[in-house]
Amino acid sequence: MKKFVIGILVAASLVSRAAAQEQGADAASGKALWDGSNTQCRSCHGSAGEGAFGPALAGRGLSSAEFRQAARKPWGIMPAFTQDQVSDADLANFATYFAGLPKAADAGPWRVPAPEDGRLGQKIAISLGCAQCHGATFDVARGILGGTAVGFGQFKDLVYNHTVAMPKLGIAEGNTPGQRLHMGNYNPLRISEQQLKAIYDWTKNDLGFRPFLEARLTADKSDVAGATYVLKVENSGFKKKGPAAQDVTIHIALPAGATVMHATGDGYKGVHPDAVAKADVAEWKLAKIAPTDEQTFAVTLSSPVDKAGLKGSLSWAKPAPKTGAKLDTMNFALRSPG
């Protein structure tokens, strides 16, 4: 009898795993998509599908059909994702990938926990899962909202009808044209207008909208020696709508042993030690970067550096956050080729 029961359990496990492994599904492709930058599912479900804010996926033997149901007509507060964002083939690959992983003993912690002393809007944003992708203070989102002067009506549309409304906004979540949007469409029956109003008021009135600044640090392909790096900083806000960033400071932290051989760009101030970066930094200072303005800076180092070895920060004094630190900052790092 004992062997018979064990046999049933083993057979059930094999059937469950086989159900997830449809013809043509590929676990490696599922893992690559999950770990890469084209989706942010792991922000809620855990880096290896172990569960966190969202339910665990690893080791549950969920079928491709169950993944499709969850993505297209989700339960709870999860947004719905379109075929363009994550295809049926992608979902089959996810199912196969997670079916081959062991089930985690415990779910991981939320990526962004709810603070006890947070404002109502922040607590709602965290409890609904918004902050698991957008962060505890919605930094990038506040930049997009500020740079395009989004009102509450448009904000609602961006949440409930995101896959249509976001491309119309003219700023594709910081993505380049053709890349898939990371956020799906939320159901107004599960996330109320009242909850969205609390989140909107928190971002606009408690924290304050930000200039929509973007920074891209890349290796200069024209440099044969490979030691020149180019930083492009752009205020992607709309003219007459978005705010200008004022009193701007740019730092590129130098790896140990590296020295600056040459630097270009307006406002270059040289190299000095920086307590925050805990390294020497090349520094630029600008009076302001207005909406649609783009600035280019370049630095040639004494030798090439690894991707992980070059990073920096962009900060501005005005407009300042209404609460918290009075100097706003965003970080950037060297991007991979292409």
Claim to verify: residue 230 and residue 310 sit in the same structural domain:
yes
Last-in-domain residue among 99, 134, 158: 99
Residue 264's DSSP bridge partners are 298
Question: Is-contact 142 207, C-beta < 8 A?
Answer: yes
pTM of the model: 0.85
Residue 135 Cα distances to 50, 86, 122, 201, 244, angstroms: 20, 23, 10, 17, 23
Last-in-domain residue among 150, 185, 207: 207
What does residue 251 show for φ and ψ, rounded to 5 degrees? Answer: -125, 135
CATH code for the domain of 50: 1.10.760.10
Is residue 130, in this structure, part of any structural domain at all? yes
Q: Which of 335, 308, 313 is nearest to 229 (CA)?
A: 335
Question: Is-contact 281 254, C-beta < 8 A?
Answer: yes
pLDDT tens digit string along 199-254?
A: 999 999 999 999 999 999 999 988 888 899 999 999 999 999 999 999 999 999 99
pLDDT tens digit string along 64-77?
A: 999 999 999 998 99
Claim to verify: residue 148 and residue 168 sit in the same structural domain:
yes
SS3 call for 162: helix
Query: What's CA 318's distance to the chain center, in Å?
Result: 24
Helices (H), ranges, 161-266: 162-169, 193-201
Number of separate domains in the chain: 3
Claim to verify: residue 221 and residue 320 sit in the same structural domain:
yes
> What share of the chain has pLDDT > 90, as a percent?
76
The span from the CA of 44 to the CA of 98, in Å, is: 15
pLDDT tens digit string along 290-323?
A: 999 999 999 999 999 887 789 999 999 999 988 8
Domain containing 239: what range? 213-333
Measured at the CA of 252, the angle between CA 238 and CA 134, to 5 degrees, comes to: 50
